[in-house]
A and B are shown apart, each in its own frame.
Chain A
């Protein structure tokens, strides 16, 4: 009996050993397959587990898109100074709207300095957005914080709530265009400190291609990530700039932030980045380029007699046949934004030059005709005007205005000649 039991036991252990070896062989084969060229998931960061893959930005300072033209015919020195004087960020300290600060920063950058102490400097605006303490000082504790701590990064509260950032990723895009560093500290509620890189990371994870607004996200991602052109978001979706370009092109042109004009700016920005960093495939670039040609054609036939573009510019010639009775701010949005993207666009994408000149004349006159209160009430729209006009003089608003202020007395009445 004992011999039988022993024999049975040794048979069992032999079978167990063979089974374990067989299992090991299968696992090894499986792993080898997972990393082989034939495996469908070989490009994933982990073929065995679905994990989001957010790239580390290849730079500490964001890229910036240089303007292409220095055209005094579009805007003269004096006109530029007048407009920039109008749009100085002279905001009330209490209940300061994040949306206003974001737009101002985008126009003036973090380097802006003003002689007038009532005007927020670039540093002060940056502090307001990145330091919860500054935010609390303005709003008190009754408002939800704009900065939200998350396990993977920092999220920005956005939406129609009081003192939220109005548009998704507008906070990030504005600070990016304002020249903030990736390591710039972000001070959260509770005293925790993180940085802009954490905001970018969370933004990449949270980004959904099919959300309503992608314009700001596309801009921010482009300026930080190029030449890296793809990542995997928190839901496992692989996103690249081709997909973003398709998304920006999708839908009737009237959709999108600012009567559909900011999508155009974002698309142009991606093409400019592609010029240097090849973030788009040939198919993606072709799609974006053709769309911009279409936009050019639309604005060519939809400009009003006085030079402005209406909010229904995307209807093309029908916009003139069926004019809408726009409020002033909508006209400013459309005209200012179109001038902005045209300043960074090659001439092939421009409407006839006369139309650009007419548009600039209209927007300069309109801006100068506004009172300070009227400008403040529609600051976000007029901020684009200032930025657009500065771009057409191949300069930055803060650079030009600082020089101008330096050459003037405290009155700042006369505009210097640009070097």
Chain B
């Protein structure tokens, strides 16, 4: 049963008892009847000049939207606009664009295709479909298109959180609050356009489908299809399988506890349906160019020793902002669960705990915990509010809300970079398109004076230079550090940390050009200015370029 976006929960349509109106949601007045007419006031004096027929909603019923939907649309629109005006991040995205372009030319490689020092390194492109999508958007609409895609994904995810909560609880404010909470908690992740956002969208979609798995037949093809797509968009599909696994184990545990017999689990038809559906979803992920290798690659990915240098791949700590967000979310969740009259199923707990554990083990995985935490909090908060007699305000359908929704969509679209591009053909300027850290001017300089031979570059700029730098530029590393040979990555760290023999390392690799950022490599830039072997050839507020005075010829 798909989510019906045009109706509010059925119980609110008929609720008209003013005596039950208590709590903040009662602020809405119920003086209007369901067809939108206005009753005469008491005392028998007719309204002067009012023509009732003019106020009749003539919109076809199927086109009428609810106030709830309008509110959520406003939130989604804000999210769209907020994320689409953000500059494109300087890493990740550009790397995926570069690999996507290579994919279009040469097909899926089995070894790293773009970094000369990573030749021969095994390469499983678990985001190939996302890469193609990004390239397609870039080619069709340019930078504005990419910004628009970021906005669309942000809005989509807010919608995937808010709409099911609104439908399930009937509480507009709660749904919008949850959407906002999601935005706040995942703002850092949502601000970077990369395949992970597509994975997150699939995760949210799968959460919705798993909720209705017991009641709907369509999920038998919807979920496997989603997982098959997901496996080609991003490697997070394995996290997605935690949801049904938690449901299965939780349901089995609850069933056994309720009946007092473990073997009763074997007779739970719904449980077995869940098992079969999970099996189907897991097998569907084999529909990728890498088949079972994809699973091996994803499961062993975090063991790559190169990743230990990246903070994203380190365990979560309270000192980090993400850790503090996690702690606050956890405390709120605990408080709500403690006071909620709703029973917490074992499956729910298992899912929360396993995602929390994953997030603690690896900061990068924390983003999957937040939507589940928000969803759980919303359900329990709804139960709590209902027990405290906080009635759900009705959300009548009316044509005016449809008009408002269209208007909102148009306004948000029209004032976004995507809208400017589609409607007026305008692209944002490079300074508005790119983050402050992106080496825009340096890249322009490198196009004018292409480097000869091996380049040593800041890792954070590797993706941008790969996608936008001169063709054939031989970069040292990019953000795909797991693809760099161990020795190369160690040597990179030695150079940027100015460790022992750093200068000799540049000689060993025949590096003739060095491109460094000032934000993190200012010390190295100053040292290089003192080195006789190197000449500063370009410098701006973001970074510097050095050329070797006597080129190492090969």
Contact at A48–B487, with CB atoms within 8 Å? no
Surface stretch bound by B, among A29-37, A60-68, A101-109: A29-37
Among B451-509, those with CB < 8 Å from A are 454, 485-488, 491, 507-509
A41-B290, A250-B508 are contacts. A210–B485 as well, Cβ < 8 Å? yes
Partner of A19 from the list B279, B288, B488, B553 (CB cut-off 8 Å) is B279
Among A223-251, those with CB < 8 Å from B are 235-240, 243, 246, 249-251
B10 contacts A by Cβ under 8 Å: no
Distance between Cα atoms of A373 and B385 in the complex (Å): 96
Among A123-172, those with CB < 8 Å from B are none
Partner of A251 from the list B283, B296, B509 (CB cut-off 8 Å) is B509
Partner of B110 from the list A16, A44, A249, A291 (CB cut-off 8 Å) is A44
A31-B291, A33-B289, A211-B487 are contacts. A26–B283 as well, Cβ < 8 Å? yes
Contact at B284–A252, with CB atoms within 8 Å? no
Distance between Cα atoms of A210 and B489 in the complex (Å): 10
Kindly supply a per-residue 1/0 record for chain A positions 237-274, scoring 1 wherever the CB is within 8 Å of any chain B CB and 0 otherwise. 11110010010011110110000000000000000000
Contact at B290–A40, with CB atoms within 8 Å? yes
Give chain B residues whose Cβ lies under 8 Å from the Cβ of A26.
283-284, 286-287
Give chain B residues whose Cβ lies under 8 Å from the Cβ of A418.
none
A39 contacts B by Cβ under 8 Å: yes
Distance between Cα atoms of A50 and B286 in the complex (Å): 16
Nearest-CB distance from B25 to chain A (Å)?
A: 42
Contact at B119–A8, with CB atoms within 8 Å? no
Nearest-CB distance from A2 to chain B (Å)?
A: 15
A210-B485, A250-B509 are contacts. A29–B289 as well, Cβ < 8 Å? no
Distance between Cα atoms of A31 and B291 in the complex (Å): 8
Partner of B485 from the list A49, A208, A287 (CB cut-off 8 Å) is A208
A56 contacts B by Cβ under 8 Å: no
Contact at B291–A209, with CB atoms within 8 Å? no
Kindly supply a per-residue 1/0 record for chain A positions 1-24, scoring 1 wherever the CB is within 8 Å of any chain B CB and 0 otherwise. 000000010001001100100110
Contact at A210–B510, with CB atoms within 8 Å? no
Contact at A48–B554, with CB atoms within 8 Å? no
B121 contacts A by Cβ under 8 Å: yes
Partner of A238 from the list B111, B297, B491 (CB cut-off 8 Å) is B111
Contact at A237–B284, with CB atoms within 8 Å? no
Distance between Cα atoms of A243 and B112 in the complex (Å): 13
Contact at B110–A41, with CB atoms within 8 Å? yes
**CB contacts between A and B, total, < 8 Å:** 115
Give chain B residues whose Cβ lies under 8 Å from the Cβ of A240.
120
Give chain A residues whose Cβ lies under 8 Å from the Cβ of B107.
38, 40
Distance between Cα atoms of A34 and B289 in the complex (Å): 7
Distance between Cα atoms of A26 and B285 in the complex (Å): 9
Among B262-295, those with CB < 8 Å from A are 269, 272-273, 276-277, 279-280, 283-284, 286-293
Sort chain B's interface into a size bin.
35 or more
Give chain B residues whose Cβ lies under 8 Å from the Cβ of A40.
107-110, 125, 289-290
Give chain B residues whose Cβ lies under 8 Å from the Cβ of A22.
224, 280, 283
Among B112-135, those with CB < 8 Å from A are 117, 119-122, 125
Contact at A243–B291, with CB atoms within 8 Å? no
Give chain A residues whose Cβ lies under 8 Å from the Cβ of B320.
none
Distance between Cα atoms of A249 and B286 in the complex (Å): 42
Contact at B510–A251, with CB atoms within 8 Å? yes
Distance between Cα atoms of A31 and B283 in the complex (Å): 12
Contact at B289–A39, with CB atoms within 8 Å? yes
Distance between Cα atoms of A47 and B273 in the complex (Å): 32
B349 contacts A by Cβ under 8 Å: no
Give chain A residues whose Cβ lies under 8 Å from the Cβ of B276.
15-16, 19
Give chain A residues whose Cβ lies under 8 Å from the Cβ of B117.
210
Nearest-CB distance from A108 to chain B (Å)?
A: 33
A210-B117, A210-B488 are contacts. A48–B293 as well, Cβ < 8 Å? yes
A210-B488, A252-B507, A252-B508 are contacts. A29–B280 as well, Cβ < 8 Å? no
B552 contacts A by Cβ under 8 Å: yes
Distance between Cα atoms of A236 and B121 in the complex (Å): 7
Query: In the complex, which of the residues A29, A30, A50, A236 has the most CB atoms of chain B within 10 Å of its own CB atom?
Result: A30
Give chain B residues whose Cβ lies under 8 Å from the Cβ of A30.
286-288, 291-292
Q: Which residue of B lies closest to A43 (CB)?
A: B110
A406 contacts B by Cβ under 8 Å: no
Give chain B residues whose Cβ lies under 8 Å from the Cβ of A239.
120
Distance between Cα atoms of A250 and B289 in the complex (Å): 34
Contact at B552–A237, with CB atoms within 8 Å? no
Distance between Cα atoms of A41 and B272 in the complex (Å): 35
Contact at A34–B109, with CB atoms within 8 Å? no
Contact at A41–B293, with CB atoms within 8 Å? yes
Contact at B283–A27, with CB atoms within 8 Å? yes
Contact at A237–B122, with CB atoms within 8 Å? yes
Partner of B122 from the list A238, A250, A254 (CB cut-off 8 Å) is A238
Give chain B residues whose Cβ lies under 8 Å from the Cβ of A43.
110
Nearest-CB distance from B453 to chain A (Å)?
A: 10
Nearest-CB distance from B286 to chain A (Å)?
A: 4
Give chain A residues whose Cβ lies under 8 Å from the Cβ of B296.
49-50
9 A-B pairs closest in CB distance: A210-B487, A40-B108, A30-B286, A238-B120, A236-B122, A251-B508, A23-B283, A19-B276, A252-B507
Q: Could you list 11 A-B pairs, sorted by A, with CB under 8 Å?
A: A16-B276, A23-B279, A49-B293, A50-B293, A210-B491, A237-B121, A237-B485, A240-B120, A251-B507, A252-B507, A287-B554
Q: With A41-B110, A210-B488, A255-B508 given, name 10 new contacts (CB 8 A).
A: A19-B277, A30-B291, A41-B290, A50-B293, A208-B485, A210-B485, A238-B111, A238-B122, A239-B120, A291-B554
